[in-house]
Amino acid sequence: MPLPSMKDVEPAQLTLKSRFKFRCHPGVKCFTKCCSNINIMLTPYDIIRMKNRLGMTSSEFLDKYTHMDIDPRTSHPIALIKMLKDENKSCPFVTPDGCTIYSDRPANCRYYPIGQGTWRKSTEKGIVNEEFYFFIKESYCLGYQEDTEWTVESWRKDQGVDLCDELNKEWKEIQLRKDPTGKPLDPGQQSQIYLASYDLDTFKKFIFESKFLDVFDIPDDELEKIKTDEIALMKFGFKYIKYILLIEETFKLKKK
Ligand code: SF4
Ligand code: SF4
């Protein structure tokens, strides 16, 4: 997302039915102003879309366009777009005419000016994740002065963010999870999570060209699918992360 500073966040929580007026178009005086000096966190599905749009492998994309940070709350690695070192710290994809990868832009850019978060709540049925929304109101953003009316729900649909959320749901749930013992992840776990979340082309090589298949018993049809289907590979990556974080026994070891 553009990760807002707290001063930019409207405190009211929104629901899918909340209404607002907003329109962003090349005619606004602030056009592309929001595409500089921001933290945009990427999801696994964002990276698939962006690297394919640019005709790059995942590792080429990550090297050129991202930097890694560690979430201080969960110690999970996170990939963020690396801003340019120009005067405005511009996003590498912005030009005076707008975003050069617009139809494949990340989910958090699609959501803007709505921010989205998830609470982990204790209920009678156990821990559940509850989504919430809020406005990001930057003083320079003139889109709020326009007359087009939305609900959060219609905005999400219009911006194509509902598909992104559906595909990222499982990964987001993993991201929210803290180790029950309170121990931070070790560097080995962090690099495996990074690999299986973001660097899917290298992850595929790890599956097929290392000893991975000597250790784990993976059904042939699943292996065939992940050879050609990147969404299936991404979901396989989520299973692998769950296995290494001991969330679920998603893989069986091969019998010797
Ligand atoms: S600052 Fe607001 S209105 Fe201006 S380009 Fe960005 S989102 Fe659109
Ligand atoms: S990816 Fe596109 S929409 Fe997002 S900040 Fe960069 S230029 Fe703006």
Average pLDDT over the chain, rounded to whole?
91
Least confident window among 4-13, 90-99, 246-255: 4-13
Band of pLDDT at residue 182, cut at 50, 70 and 90: confident
> What is the CA(108)–ligand 2 centre distance, in A?
9
Band of pLDDT at residue 131, cut at 50, 70 and 90: confident
C-alpha to C-alpha distance for 39 and 68, rounded to whole angstroms: 11
Q: Is the pLDDT of residue 2 over 60?
A: no
Q: Which atom of ligand 2 is nearest to the CA of 109?
A: 4
The residue whose CA has the least distance to atom 8 of ligand 2 is: 35
Q: Is the pLDDT of residue 235 over 80?
A: yes
Q: Which atom of ligand 1 is nearest to the CA of 144?
A: 3
SS (H, E, C) the chain: CECCCHHHECCCCECCCCEEECCCCCCCCCCCHHHECCCEEECHHHHHHHHHHCCCCHHHHHHHHEEEEECCCCCCEEEEECCCCCCCCECCCEECCEECCHHHCCHHHHHCCEEEEEEEEEECCEEEEEEEEEEECCCCCCHHHCCCEEEHHHHHHHCCHHHHHHHHHHHHHHHHCCCCCCCCCCHHHHHHHHHHHCCHHHHHHHHHHCCHHHHEECCHHHHHHHHHCHHHHHHHHHHHHHHHCCCCCCCEECCC
Band of pLDDT at residue 117, cut at 50, 70 and 90: confident
pLDDT in the model for residue 59: 97
Q: Which atom of ligand 1 is nearest to the CA of 143?
A: 3
pLDDT in the model for residue 3: 47
The residue whose CA has the least distance to atom 8 of ligand 1 is: 24
pLDDT tens column, 59-116: 999 999 999 999 998 899 999 999 999 999 999 999 999 999 999 999 999 999 999 8
C-beta atoms surrounding 92 within 10 Å = 15
Pocket of ligand 1 (CB under 6 A): 24, 28, 30-34, 112-113, 140-143
Q: Which atom of ligand 1 is nearest to the CA of 138?
A: 1
What residues does each domain of the chain span?
A: 6-168, 187-253
Closest-lying ligand to the alpha carbon of 82?
A: 2
> What is the CA(172)–ligand 2 centre distance, in A?
21
Closest-lying ligand to the alpha carbon of 143?
A: 1
Q: From the CB of 91, is ligand 2 less than 6 Å away?
A: yes
